Amino acid sequence: MKIGNIDLGERPVMLAPMEDVTDRSFRLICKEQGADMTYSEFVSADALIRNIAATTRKLAIDPGERPTAIQIYGREVGPMVEAAKIVEAASPDIIDINFGCPVKKVAGKGAGAGMLRDIPRMLEITRAVVDAVRLPVTVKTRLGWDHESKIIVTLAEQLQDCGIQALTVHGRTRSQMYTGEADWEMIARVKENPRLVIPVIGNGDITTGNGLVEGFGRYGVDGVMVGRASIGAPWIFREMKAALAGGDAGELTLAGKFALLRRQIRESVDRIDEYRGILHIRRHLAASPLFKGIPHFRDTRVAMLRADTLAGLEEILSHIENDIIPENS
């Protein structure tokens, strides 16, 4: 699969853009674990052109994580074009436009998935961004605004006509948010359209190697994007790529998984500061499968998610790794 001149190989697996998750450290770890491409956190066009520090920091890319896309969102043509030019100067490999985020603070203001209610403006923004930069431009979106407006098959063609070089489709509508199941049959209909020649990347509910294999084999997509299943589990890419190859890469050891989480914590603290760095990493700790299904774990889990110093958090993690999990395995 190629996006512009970027060759991602056959059946690539990508790390999805996720706010407060896909920072530079996490992207690099996922790349090392087998992700073929990574995407930044959401970059607000309005905040970027106002030079807000927290936003401009999102443009930093580690050479080891490439190829990398920086994803931008907004609701007005002018700011989106200006933001795309700023992003291009940061030298990502691809610029991705977010027309899929369903959360109220984004979609409710007309950006992200909110654009699914204003297709003419969505196409105007896409065409303007494509014309303004030399980098490949891609789009991530959803099936439609709600069940009555699943317009993705037609929309995919329209976006292709605007000049995008790949399309990622999340298999839900905006009104579904993240409830129900992703509709991969609809994603397959996009791919089956003979008039669509750009790569189609499927996204939604891919949480296992078997699910990944089905995404490619049954639904025929060119690439698969993995999001929430990677939070607190960057090693999922290692496991998925092994399943795709029909072999066994050897499951990462418990010590190896804890080492990756500790690295995330350390790099988060180094990048921000101790208190806020630990706050930032709590989402990964809360979601990690390492801490699922352990009997009588509630009190320890609460303590882990309330720890606000490196020393305190490390003491709890060491207790979990060396005492609690072995006792219950």
- Which residue is catalytic, options 80, 101, 119, 143? 101
- Average pLDDT for residues 158-184, to the nearest whole number? 96
Q: Compute CA distances 120 → 75, 114, 129, whole Å.
A: 12, 12, 14
Q: How many other C-beta atoms are found inside a 10 Å radius of the C-beta of residue 7?
A: 11
Question: Domain residue spans in the chain?
Answer: 2-245, 254-327
pLDDT for 162: 98
* Pairing of the two strands 2-3 and 6-7: antiparallel
Residue 82 pLDDT greater than 80, yes or no:
yes
Q: What is the dihedral of CA 251, 254, 257, 261, to 10 degrees?
A: 170
Residue 76 pLDDT greater than 90, yes or no:
yes
117-146 burial, b for 16+ CB within 10 Å, e for fewer?
eebeebbebbbebbebeebbbbbbbbbbbe
162 among known catalytic residues: no
To the nearest 10 degrees (0 to 180), the angle between helices 119-132 and 77-89 is: 30
Q: What pLDDT digit, counting tens, does each position of 17-71 carry?
A: 999 999 999 999 999 999 999 999 999 999 999 999 999 999 999 999 999 999 9
Q: Could you tell me the sign of the dihedral formed by the alpha carbons of 107, 113, 116, 121, in that order?
A: positive
In this structure, are residues 39 and 69 in contact, taking their beta carbons and an 8 Å threshold?
Answer: yes
Residue 206 pLDDT greater than 80, yes or no:
yes
Enter the tokens of residue 121.
Answer: 């403006």
Superfamily designation of domain 2-245:
Aldolase class I (3.20.20.70)
Q: What pLDDT digit, counting tens, does each position of 267-280 carry?
A: 999 999 999 999 99
**Local confidence band at 235 (pLDDT 50, 70, 90 cut-offs):** very high
Name residue, tokens 């994580």: 65
**Local confidence band at 250 (pLDDT 50, 70, 90 cut-offs):** low
**Local confidence band at 249 (pLDDT 50, 70, 90 cut-offs):** low
Q: What pLDDT digit, counting tens, does each position of 114-145 carry?
A: 999 999 999 999 999 999 999 999 999 999 99
